Structure 1
């Protein structure tokens, strides 16, 4: 159950955040986002409509969760850049607000009924194929959302999607574009090539000590060691605190009483309904008359599920016999909910009016949840009580750590007060060290701060993750210093060797290309090197070096039977001398299915380009004020 909730919450996060709140993040990519506090005061207005602090906080927190999810199970929150995320979130909210205002100007609306249908039919909110209010609430709770927040996000997402669809679906592709794409995609090329090895060229060149010394003199001002620090630290760890905790029988009994109370509070009911909608074709009186007739048929023995399939106007539940799953309070509108909880098991209501129309409601057999006995629950209760005590103790010791380390000139007193040993890390640079403390970005930033280096004070508590906090002190600071020639001689020699070898290869390649252009045979020009002959190679050939393949398809077509020649730098730094001998474009016709697929692909690409263009026009026209 819990794993199901976790899995579904991840998919919901992806749908909500990537598809809605952070709409424009696809333009930036997550690779560039390498701590987040939502306290920054950064609301804005778009055409006079306010983006509130709450919206900004919620969007920032949701984006943070999504990024950490993408980074994997052991993601380090300190790798997230606070300012970058907040700026991008605000820009994204501005774009979202612009699109929502455009949707409103077009008169687009999303009804409550449509939102209800989307929620009930969402697989992530279902158990055994049926909507579950418990699953719905648990999934949302796991990503920090309430049902009302989720409904609001869904409404915004659908409005933006309608605007996007209206633009993208108006795009079209021409037959000429299809033919051109097919020709490019199916084109093959034939070529011959031979490599000029960089490693072999390195063996043929000589770098003297004088050349190394000369390069050192040219670059010695930049040949510095990395700035390094040695830090001491004390680490407050929840896991270590757990070993100091004991749980009494009274603690467990109190925990068990809370468990029993929660079972009484969480009443869930299986419910189904038949909806008679009030709309332009059916007024209230007619809808009520039909609902009364349906109730009479049910009283006469007609099967509820069959009648719902035939008569219900709720397309989201009619096919399943009106079944809405097992639900608690807070899921449906108040009139529906009041009637549902007033019914006995198996009873059918009189017609109930809501904003959607008239409902005939049936409550299924109530299955009472039986709480576990104290003995059955004792193991889990012990775990939970221990967790609670550890959390309280951790908070208490965290306050102690902050107070004592602030008032102390070193880590000795904090170590004694909290009974935590002082540890010393190996020297590390601004790139970080080799353990969980020194590789943490916040620790690195603090360790190289002027306050810790120059003033010699203890750092403020630094949270490594939700279970560990550290206070550090700089024990030793090693500023950058010029490196002696002997320290960098080997590096400089290797650099010079590579440069000389590359120059040799360039000279050899130019000579080989010139010989080919004059009509020499490639096997002769290769001078004993292995020549590879490739026939009808496609753009996606995996067996060819990607850099070589890219160059081959960038070369001009052979003219009048004369090969096109050139060079390509391979992935290992070697050069290849290339002779392009032929370009083939298949003339076979494509099938109707392929035609439709390619047209759809081109239409989608054009539509996306037009949508992005429309977004830019709307943003340029909007009056945006960042406060």
Structure 2
């Protein structure tokens, strides 16, 4: 019943795969009517095929992403959106993967290993834990080889993205104009004429206040409201009632002992001679053996790695591969590395990447955390685990009983010994705890809930489960004049005060055009004259409307007795721009200029990437099983 609640605790793995660009879905339906089996082809892209099992895996990942926004129960209205997103993601992944594979993009095993070991989701205690990593993948039905292959593909696609960005060409004149505009700063001065200065000058009579009410009566409505009664229970409440002994926690520790045992780690360096492309295998072997002889002759391993190694990621660091646990490298490499003694250098080792010479630099023995070291955190974890199990059981009972009770919760409260609570004056867009679950609010405001007081399904949020029903409903009503008379008076006073402030601003602008100065008028009208200096376009030192006015001032009007005004809710700003300084390319050193060019290139490159992906998608021949989105396929 509440399988979606359980999935929430293991669903984050979907976020580990790098996303690809989504383009508006354009579907060419094919005629592929067949019995839905896991190996059925449901999408064809050019000559590539997507099976039903592939589709279901991607669909699950999409569901998890939507659940992060909408919670575990996703609105029915979004089902087709998720199906479209799933379809388009699979199409784009297939197209991009085919392209990067054809173009020869490659990712080193070391880089894939670094991504995995540095991922905090795979770390436990002091660092990466292989058993935890394997358990997480297993819980998602994903094999280690499958995950690492998918990650490698996504990293290759990211190489394509970076390549398009880095190939964007910025001319010196384009970059200079960009710097001059974006880093331009302006200086000047302004007077603020506060509307509040004129509130005492405003007088209102009862007739105009009531007239405003009558003319704007539909603006003075109450919100639709409901009163709700609900039953809820949280993990924390259950945890307070749970009793267990130290021996129970010790048994839990023993049952999960592998989680608390760190693996042996080895720090190594290598020299790789690949035999891809024009380099044949025999030539690569001869070269690696010559390097081995030079090492035996006393030459520096690090210097030879820098000079000859084809692993660009490690060569510049003398071949350093960092720390690794068993299984992070390909089997042939891994087997030799974990057979070496510290300081020992291997004979040439052949892998799919070429020939390697491996040196073991340092070794960290694996260790087991003793129970006494982690007893406190383990006790808390064990209590939470028991509480979660009980919460699922109670949630199942709560859901069944609420469904049977239909439109009352008293019997459910009595059966489960829960307190029946009430929440009053709930609105659609309010800030109550119920509003944290938008779909629950939608159901509570639905006709069946309002007219028949039906019990809602059970919802899970904030480590709690809840079921609710509407007990009272109030439609929007026009507020009486007496209720909002003071509010209307405040509105009218603010409006009239602002009008007077704008009239005063016109007087000041007229006097400025007659030759008076800002400082003179500041004294005359008892207004504070303020300066702004080195104001840049992205600053937030002044209100946005005033910033827009300052940078909209033509350069020909600067320092030319040109004045402008901007009216805001709090008053009117009269301002003058006195200085403008174009951004200076010369003030930046070479490193800063390069960084700026990269930033601009990324903007342009991102546009190129979007165009490239769109063109690939438009040119692809895509066929989609017309039954894919129907009930014939249980997604």
What's the TM-score once normalised by structure 2's chain length?
0.73
Cα distance change of structure 1 residues 575 and 403 upon mapping to structure 2, 3 Å threshold: same
Question: 1:272-291 residue pairs with structure 2 within 5 A?
Answer: 272=268, 275-280=272-277, 283-287=280-284
Instruction: Tell me how far apart the structure 1 counterparts of residues 606 and 195 of structure 2 sit (CA, whole Å).
Output: 44
Instruction: Tell me how far apart the structure 2 counterparts of residues 379 and 169 of structure 1 sit (CA, whole Å).
Output: 51
2:118 aligns to what? Answer: 124
2:393 aligns to what? Answer: 396
Contact 2:71 2:437 in 1 (8 A): no
Instruction: Tell me how far apart the structure 2 counterparts of residues 255 and 327 of structure 1 sit (CA, whole Å).
Output: 26
Q: 1:553 aligns with which of 551, 554, 566?
A: 551
Cα distance change of structure 1 residues 210 and 46 upon mapping to structure 2, 3 Å threshold: farther
1:101 aligns with 2:95: yes
Instruction: Tell me how far apart the structure 1 counterparts of residues 105 and 213 of structure 2 sit (CA, whole Å).
Output: 70
Instruction: Tell me how far apart the structure 2 counterparts of residues 193 and 371 of structure 1 sit (CA, whole Å).
Output: 67
- Larger CA deviation: 139-148 vs 96-105: 139-148
Q: 2:174 aligns with which of 174, 177, 181?
A: 177
2:243 aligns to what? Answer: 246
Which consecutive unaligned segments of at least 5 residues does structure 1 have? 1-10, 26-42, 69-75
Instruction: Tell me how far apart the structure 1 counterparts of residues 183 and 356 of structure 2 sit (CA, whole Å).
Output: 59
1:461 aligns with 2:458: yes
Question: 1:34-433 residue pairs with structure 2 within 5 A?
Answer: 52-54=54-56, 56-57=58-59, 59-60=61-62, 63=65, 77=71, 87=81, 91=85, 94=88, 97-98=91-92, 101=95, 104-105=98-99, 107-111=102-106, 114-122=107-115, 124=118, 134=130, 137=133, 147-148=144-145, 150-184=147-181, 187=184, 189=186, 191-247=188-244, 251-252=248-249, 254-260=251-257, 268=264, 270=266, 272=268, 275-280=272-277, 283-287=280-284, 309=305, 314-316=311-313, 319=317, 325-329=323-327, 331-337=328-334, 343=339, 352-359=349-356, 367=365, 369-370=367-368, 372=370, 382-408=379-405, 409-433=407-431
Instruction: Tell me how far apart the structure 2 counterparts of residues 494 and 53 of structure 1 sit (CA, whole Å).
Output: 59
Instruction: Tell me how far apart the structure 2 counterparts of residues 223 and 255 of structure 1 sit (CA, whole Å).
Output: 61
Residue 203 of structure 1 aligns to a residue whose secondary structure is helix
Question: What is the deviation of 1:304?
Answer: 11
Contact 2:129 2:263 in 1 (8 A): no
Cα distance change of structure 1 residues 92 and 539 upon mapping to structure 2, 3 Å threshold: farther
Question: What is the deviation of 1:235?
Answer: 1.0
Cα distance change of structure 1 residues 419 and 312 upon mapping to structure 2, 3 Å threshold: same
Instruction: Tell me how far apart the structure 2 counterparts of residues 176 and 290 of structure 1 sit (CA, whole Å).
Output: 47
Contact 2:195 2:501 in 1 (8 A): yes
2:3 aligns to what? Answer: none
Contact 1:558 1:582 in 2 (8 A): no
Cα distance change of structure 1 residues 411 and 587 upon mapping to structure 2, 3 Å threshold: closer
Contact 2:198 2:497 in 1 (8 A): yes
1:29 aligns to what? Answer: none
Question: What is the deviation of 1:575?
Answer: 0.8
Residue 564 of structure 1 aligns to a residue whose secondary structure is coil
Instruction: Tell me how far apart the structure 1 counterparts of residues 377 and 533 of structure 2 sit (CA, whole Å).
Output: 66
2:501 aligns to what? Answer: 505
Which consecutive unaligned segments of at least 5 residues does structure 2 have? 1-11, 24-41, 630-635
- Larger CA deviation: 441-450 vs 410-419: 441-450
Question: What is the deviation of 1:192?
Answer: 4.6
Q: 2:566 aligns with which of 558, 565, 568?
A: 568
- Larger CA deviation: 282-291 vs 496-505: 282-291
Contact 2:558 2:577 in 1 (8 A): no
Contact 1:140 1:147 in 2 (8 A): no
Question: What is the deviation of 1:488?
Answer: 1.6
2:30 aligns to what? Answer: none
Between the two proteins, the alignment pairs up a number of residues equal to: 578
Query: Aligned-pair RMSD on alpha carbons?
Result: 4.9
Contact 2:443 2:449 in 1 (8 A): yes
Instruction: Tell me how far apart the structure 1 counterparts of residues 401 and 13 of structure 2 sit (CA, whole Å).
Output: 44
Instruction: Tell me how far apart the structure 1 counterparts of residues 351 and 526 of structure 2 sit (CA, whole Å).
Output: 84
Superposed CA deviations along residues 191-216 of structure 1, whole A, max 9, x for unmatched, are 45433221123332222211121122
Question: What is the deviation of 1:496?
Answer: 2.2
2:489 aligns to what? Answer: 493
Question: What is the deviation of 1:58?
Answer: 5.4
2:444 aligns to what? Answer: 447
Contact 1:275 1:357 in 2 (8 A): yes
Residue 427 of structure 1 aligns to a residue whose secondary structure is strand
Superposed CA deviations along residues 27-61 of structure 1, whole A, max 9, x for unmatched, are xxxxxxxxxxxxxxxx9776575674345335436
Question: What is the deviation of 1:470?
Answer: 0.7
Cα distance change of structure 1 residues 24 and 203 upon mapping to structure 2, 3 Å threshold: farther
Instruction: Tell me how far apart the structure 2 counterparts of residues 219 and 13 of structure 1 sit (CA, whole Å).
Output: 51
Residue 332 of structure 1 aligns to a residue whose secondary structure is coil
- Larger CA deviation: 594-603 vs 139-148: 139-148
Contact 2:267 2:324 in 1 (8 A): yes
Instruction: Tell me how far apart the structure 2 counterparts of residues 226 and 402 of structure 1 sit (CA, whole Å).
Output: 30
